[in-house]
Amino acid sequence: MATFLSRSGPFTDPDYTPEFGLESLVTSKVLVLGAGGLGCEILKNLVLSGFRHIECIDMDTIETSNLNRQFLFRSSDVGKSKAIVACEFVTRRLARRGLTLVPHFCKIQDFDDDFYSQFSIIVCGLDSIEARRWMNEKLVSLAATAGRIIPWIDGGTEGFQGSVKLMIPTITACFECYMKLVPVQTTYPLCTLASTPRLPEHCIEWAHELEWPKRYPDMDFDADVPEHVDLMYQLAKERASQFGIEGVTKAKTLGVVKNIIPAIASTNAVVAAACCHECFKFVTSCADNMRDSMYYNGETGVVCVSDPYDKAADCAVCASLPQDYVIDERCTLGLFVAGATQKFGLQQPLFFTAEGDLYNSKKPDAFATDIPVVKLIPFADRVAKVQINIVDSSTPSTLKLILKVQ
Amino acid sequence: MVMAYIRAKKDLQEYEEIPGISIKYDEANPMRIDLEVCPNEGLYQGGKFKFVCEVPEDYPNRAPEFKCLQKIYHPNIDLEGHVCLNILRNDWKPTLTLQLVFAGILHLFLQPNANDPLNKDAANDLSKYPAQFKRHVLNAMAGGYVGDEKFDKVVDYPDRRYL
């Protein structure tokens, strides 16, 4: 890596020095989210690229079906934590001076702001949209409220297609800005399932959504119980033969009810490589990063492009960032509401926290407006411990306030 | 805070009352809404149809789910309470709101649709024997039988007024 980083090229930043690149590479702390199909590749790539301090979070355990592509795992590892086994394998196989890999066998939601704040950059190979949205909100809020901007690179694959996003919270488009590109999950009209099935999927969804609760009212379907999958397969098969539909197999049944997307090892490798490459360029500054996002399609021919992507003006996370709002210690709910309504030009706002409504202008009588705000929500060191959200028809986004007592 | 929660709160705050629909929910849990549909015209006039609406964790990327809590006779609602409405499934868009899907549910009662049957017998009656369909609707709403099936009473007046 020293050889690589010491050469300049036509795209190298004029202020770049090899010392800076190398120093950043060995001192930066990288957090890897997910130690599955992408995570295994990412961990291996980052260590081979010269990163020294890596932590990894994954809440899952290893399953037999992972072994074809999650190459850090062996059949004797089935049932163990992905994060722990992956970090141990990489440490053993690629041992070098100063390398530390720290696994965390838990959910990303188990960690607080202080934990995330220690990282220079995050590389994310999660398979859940919900987890990424959570991470996104956390990182945008860290940037907005604590000035701690942690860039993150998100990789995702679906069969032969994959994408990479480079996101710098509050500066570039955030994950939520991209949500409008996420296709809505395929669903079939219930009446098609009930009356005019044409596809094997129609038969399986019919069995899953309509027939199972009728046939087995006291048994909730669990896709992880093999006997349940067998019963579901039988229901779907009977349905298919009634309508002369071919192609209902057990594998297809499991695929539809669990919404399994086939994972392709080569797609994971391509996407993980692009993620780590962006991570390497960002940390060392040795070359420019791509603008915003990359898309890879290996399904028909090979297409690979990178695309700029602008922030969404109506993004629920980054279009309106949490902002400080200073109040007097004796400020009542009524005064606070009136002040905020005037300041932000609200029409019929609802003020609420995670616990419930603080004030609803549609039901003004339901709230005691003469109580000081400091008695209504918890404060620590004169700063509110919960965020106040305001929704109002005057704005497509949500206003978020962090109250501070003067 | 979870986006779905905030979006549900926003939808409900901007909800403008639809004649024929009343909604109830716990302010701390906007993810479950009780809906009562009282069509003020059409064949189902006078009935009070209870639904529960569940907002999924990935709302608005996934449509809210509805279930009718009573056993009713309707071409687009089956005997278990499943509802067939295009905007709740294949035509769902994240830009749709709770307001619009509530209106969609009411619309099913104002204009039952024989082309998307969940209750095939009811759809068949509606398209081929409208007079019989009307009789069946009134019977079922009063808590009576249609064929071998007994339905839940959804009207306020004494039992079997129409029989």
Question: Is A191 labeled as catalytic in the residue annotation?
Answer: yes
CATH code where residue A101 lies: 3.40.50.720
C-beta neighbour count of B36 within 10 angstroms = 14
Q: Same structural domain for residues A77 and A7?
A: yes
Give this complex's ipTM: 0.80
CATH code where residue A353 lies: 3.10.290.20
Note whether B28 contacts A389, CB cutoff 8 Å.
no
Q: Does B74 touch chain A (CB under 8 A)?
A: no
Q: Same structural domain for residues A235 and A131?
A: no
Give the burial string for A43-69 (b: 16+ CB within 10 Å, else e).
bbbbbebbbbbbbbbbbebbeeebeeb
Among chain A residues, CA nearest to B120: A195
Q: What's the token pair of residue A5? A: 């980083």
pTM exceeding the 0.80 threshold for the entire prediction: no
Q: Same structural domain for residues A163 and A194?
A: no
* Domain assignment present for A314: no
* Domain assignment present for A317: no
Using DSSP's 3-state secondary structure scheme, residue A355 falls into coil
Q: Same structural domain for residues A110 and A134?
A: yes
pLDDT for res B28: 87
pLDDT for res B162: 52
Q: What single-letter amino acid sits at B88?
A: L
* Domain assignment present for A228: yes
Of A191, A276, A286, A304, the active-site residue reads: A191
Tell me what the pLDDT averaged over chain A comes to: 92
pLDDT for res B57: 87
- Say if residues B33 and B99 touch (Cβ distance below 8 Å): no
Weakly modelled stretches of chain A, pLDDT under 50: none
Q: Which residues, other chains included, contact A3 with Cβ-Cβ below 8 Å and sequence gap of 6+?
A: none
pLDDT (tens digit per residue) in B98-156:
999 999 999 999 999 998 789 999 999 999 999 999 999 999 999 999 999 999 999 98
Note whether B13 contacts A362, CB cutoff 8 Å.
yes
Note whether A191 contacts B84, CB cutoff 8 Å.
yes
Eight-state DSSP code of residue A381: T
* Domain assignment present for A318: no
Among chain B residues, CA nearest to A387: B1
Phi/psi of residue A31, nearest 5 degrees: -105, 130
Query: Which residues in chain B touch residue A213, judged by CB atoms under 8 angstroms apart?
Result: 80
CATH code where residue A253 lies: 1.10.10.520
Query: Which residues in chain A touch residue B124, judged by CB atoms under 8 angstroms apart?
Result: none
d(CA A313, CA A349): 20
User: CB contacts < 8 Å between A and B, how many?
Assistant: 91
* Of A303, A310, A223, residue with least CA distance to A267: A303
Bridge partners of B95, per DSSP, are none
pLDDT of residue B40 exceeding 60, the answer is yes
Range of the domain at A138: 2-183+262-307
Q: Same structural domain for residues A277 and A395?
A: no
d(CA A160, CA B65): 32
Q: How many domains does chain A have?
A: 3
pLDDT of residue B161 exceeding 60, the answer is no
Q: Same structural domain for residues A295 and A374?
A: no
Q: Same structural domain for residues A329 and A365?
A: yes
* Domain assignment present for A206: yes
pLDDT (tens digit per residue) in A102-143:
999 999 999 999 999 999 999 999 988 889 989 999 999 899
pLDDT for res A395: 80
pLDDT (tens digit per residue) in B8-22:
999 999 999 999 999
Tell which phi-psi region holds residue A402, choosing left (phi > 0), alpha (psi between -120 and 50) or beta. Answer: beta
Q: Same structural domain for residues A213 and A357?
A: no
Among chain B residues, CA nearest to A359: B27
* Domain assignment present for A316: no
Eight-state DSSP code of residue B54: E
Phi/psi of residue A220, nearest 5 degrees: -75, 135
Q: Same structural domain for residues A120 and A86?
A: yes
Query: Which residues in chain B touch residue A185, judged by CB atoms under 8 angstroms apart?
Result: 61-62
Q: Report chain A residues touching chain B, CB-CB < 8 A.
A: 129-130, 133-134, 137, 176, 179-180, 182, 184-185, 187-191, 194-195, 209-210, 213-214, 316-317, 348-350, 352, 354-357, 360, 362, 387, 389, 391-393, 398
In CATH, what number does B3-134 get?
Answer: 3.10.110.10
What angle do the packed helices A250-257 and A226-242 form, to 10 degrees?
110
d(CA A140, CA A170): 6
pLDDT band per the 50, 70, 90 thresholds, residue B159: low
* Domain assignment present for A312: no
d(CA A60, CA A81): 6
* Of A357, A86, A387, A187, residue with least CA distance to B62: A187
Q: Same structural domain for residues A213 and A291?
A: no
pLDDT for res A332: 95
Domain ranges for chain B, please list them.
3-134
pLDDT band per the 50, 70, 90 thresholds, residue B160: low
Q: Same structural domain for residues A151 and A283?
A: yes
Nearest to B80 among A176, A214, A392 (CB): A214
Of A249, A276, A307, the one marking the end of a domain is A307
Note whether B62 contacts A133, CB cutoff 8 Å.
no
pLDDT (tens digit per residue) in B75-104:
999 999 999 999 998 889 888 999 999 999
Which H or E run contains A383? strand A383-384
Q: Same structural domain for residues A284 and A237?
A: no
Of A244, A276, A307, the one marking the end of a domain is A307
Give one DSSP letter per residue of A275-331, joined into a string: HHHHHHHHHH-SSPPPSSEEEEE-SSS-EEEEE--PPPTT-TTTSS--EEEEE-TT-
Query: Which residues in chain A touch residue B63, judged by CB atoms under 8 angstroms apart?
Result: 187
Query: Which residues in chain A touch residue B27, judged by CB atoms under 8 angstroms apart?
Result: 352, 356-357, 360
